[in-house]
């Protein structure tokens, strides 16, 4: 609610400034000083228009469609409003392969920050989404944030890309959980008997064996509405479920609490589920018909809808065309 008050207050102030500047233009007539209030009026109109759009974007329609062989995409607009994007990936489907972000030493860090669409394009993937929490990080607005593309970062937990287990992460092992993917697409939240091939980590299990994990009810990160990313497995470990929740966008998608996310996991046949990085990192991208990167959700970086955040690592998926 505080965000909405600030935004609507901004609209009101911008409109008042525009009206005052317009009145000044009218009073000054054709004098040279007319240019100054005219510019102020134009800027105020642009700001007011942006803020109005920001709070009045039309909601997308619900949809379920097959994106690639073995990959189904589902978008649901839930009460709130909350926009949820879900992928159901058949781990036995022909052509499905995974790839974690490869190591890229940058100064003292293991990785160089990049956006999800950069990762997808560079690696010629069909799907990519954000994965682990990372440091260093800050977001004080459009002019003061870290990392930028190419800046050095480290991830919270164990990470592996195509057989290269390049970091155990900066957090103690007891403070993170990991999704493991073997070369033949066996997925688990427990270390596999086979060598680790791809792995991404998160901060907590949301669901264990069909039961919601308890949370601290006084922790705003857990009980507040935020953009979220989660990965889950069905009871048979045959389907990887990816859940992306848009948030921090008033009247478009408010975000979810962790209990709400847990309920959504269970409602979509998730039996075990892991919470990945959320907030401004949340991005789901696919390769479009011409191979260009297409963002399916609405990221929110620097409070700007649609703006991607450069992040540390991602999980990518190779997939064949429908019928391939």
Query: What average pLDDT values come out for the chain (324 residues) when binned by 10 residues?
Result: 51 51 51 55 63 77 98 97 98 98 97 98 98 97 94 98 97 96 97 94 98 95 97 98 96 97 98 98 96 96 94 98 88
The secondary element (H helix, E strand) that includes residue 260 is: helix 258-267
Q: How far apart are CA 66 and CA 84, in angstroms?
A: 17
- Which DSSP symbol is given to 173? G
- pLDDT number for residue 324: 77
- How far is 37 from 31, CA to CA, in rounded Å? 11
Measured CA to CA, the distance from residue 118 to residue 309 in angstroms comes to 11
Chain center to CA of 38: 39
User: In this structure, what token pair is assigned to residue 289?
Assistant: 């018909």
Segments making up each domain of the chain, as ranges: 2-55, 63-318
d(CA 276, CA 206): 10
Residues 6+ positions from 53 with CB-CB distance below 8 Å: none
> In this structure, are strands 152-155 and 134-135 parallel, antiparallel, or unpaired?
antiparallel
Dist. CA 288–CA 126, nearest whole Å: 8
Q: What is the pLDDT of residue 29?
A: 54
Please state the pTM of the whole predicted model: 0.87
Interatomic CA distance for residues 168 and 178, integer angstroms: 11
CA-CA distance, 108 to 154, in Å (whole number)? 9
Q: What is the pLDDT of residue 50?
A: 65
CB 249 within 8 A of CB 51: no
pLDDT reported for residue 11: 46
What's the sign of the alpha-carbon dihedral 238, 187, 198, 272? positive
Pull the structure tokens for residue 200: 């991404």
In whole angstroms, what is the distance from residue 166 CA to residue 213 CA?
29
Query: What Rg, from alpha-carbon coordinates, does the chain have?
Result: 22
For residues 247 and 254, the answer to whether their CB atoms sit within 8 Å is yes
Q: How many CB atoms lie within 10 A of CB 34?
A: 15
């Amino acid at each position: 609610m505080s965000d909405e008050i600030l935004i609507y207050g901004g609209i009101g102030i911008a409109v008042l400034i525009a009206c005052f500047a317009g009145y000044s233009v009218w009073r000054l007539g054709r004098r040279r000083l007319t240019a100054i209030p005219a510019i102020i009026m134009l800027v105020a109109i642009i700001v007011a228009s942006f803020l109005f759009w920001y709070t009045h974007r039309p909601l997308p329609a619900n949809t379920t469609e097959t994106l690639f062989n073995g990959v189904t995409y589902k978008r649901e607009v839930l009460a709130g409003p909350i926009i949820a994007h879900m992928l159901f990936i058949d781990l036995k489907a022909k052509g499905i392969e995974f790839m974690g972000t490869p190591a890229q030493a940058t100064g003292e860090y293991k990785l160089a920050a990049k956006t999800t669409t950069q990762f997808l394009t560079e690696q010629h993937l069909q799907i990519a989404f954000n994965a682990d929490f990372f440091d260093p990080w800050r977001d004080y607005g459009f002019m003061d944030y870290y990392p930028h593309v190419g800046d050095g970062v480290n991830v919270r937990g164990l990470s592996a890309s195509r057989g290269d287990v390049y970091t155990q992460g900066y957090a103690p092992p007891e403070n993170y959980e990991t999704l493991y993917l073997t070369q033949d697409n066996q997925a688990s939240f427990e270390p596999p008997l086979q060598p680790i091939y791809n792995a991404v980590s998160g901060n907590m299990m949301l669901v264990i064996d069909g039961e919601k994990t308890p949370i601290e009810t006084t922790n705003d990160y857990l009980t507040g509405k935020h953009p979220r990313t989660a990965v889950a497995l069905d009871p048979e470990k045959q389907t990887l479920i990816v859940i992306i929740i848009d948030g921090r966008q008033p009247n478009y998608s408010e975000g979810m609490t962790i209990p709400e996310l847990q309920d959504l996991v269970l409602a979509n046949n998730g039996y075990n589920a892991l919470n990945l990085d959320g907030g401004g990192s949340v991005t789901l991208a696919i390769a479009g018909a011409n191979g260009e990167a297409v963002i399916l959700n609405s990221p929110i970086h620097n409070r700007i809808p649609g703006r991607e955040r450069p992040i540390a690592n991602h999980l990518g998926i190779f997939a064949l065309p429908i019928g391939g």
